[in-house]
């Protein structure tokens, strides 16, 4: 079930790095309860915030085609291509 997927991923990255919600909230510049709400999916983080949390937890976000022939990060896409 995908319902809590983003929240679970954010929680996993945070816990894997032994960050408490308050610690990661200070690092990325939001309130601790905002991190809690992201993780419980009470509110949805922007993609930029997801990338910021991932980066500060030591992760990169990649997009890969189903056939595995194409792989890129959001930073690889220029505004013109959109």
The tens digit of pLDDT for each residue in 56-67 reads 999 999 899 999
Identify the DSSP state of 72. E
CB atoms within 10 A of CB 35: 25
The residue to which tokens 């990060």 are assigned: 73
Which residues have a Cβ under 8 Å from the Cβ of 28 and sit 6 or more positions away?
49, 52, 53, 56
Task: Give dist(CA 4, CA 28) in Å, integer.
Answer: 21
Would you state the pLDDT for residue 1? 42
Is the overall model pTM greater than 0.85, yes or no? no
Would you state the pLDDT for residue 37? 97
Would you state the pLDDT for residue 77? 75
Would you state the pLDDT for residue 81? 53
Task: Return the CATH superfamily for domain 5-80.
Answer: lambda repressor-like DNA-binding domains (1.10.260.40)
Would you state the pLDDT for residue 79? 53
Residue ranges of the chain whose pLDDT lies below 70: 1-4, 78-82
């Amino acid at each position: 079930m995908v319902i809590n997927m983003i929240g679970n991923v954010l929680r996993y990255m945070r816990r894997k790095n032994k960050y408490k919600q308050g610690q990661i909230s200070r690092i990325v510049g939001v309130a601790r309860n905002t991190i809690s709400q992201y993780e419980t999916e009470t509110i949805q983080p922007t993609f930029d915030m997801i990338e910021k949390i991932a980066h500060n937890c030591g992760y990169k976000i990649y997009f890969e085609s189903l056939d595995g022939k194409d792989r890129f990060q959001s930073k690889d896409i220029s505004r013109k291509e959109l």
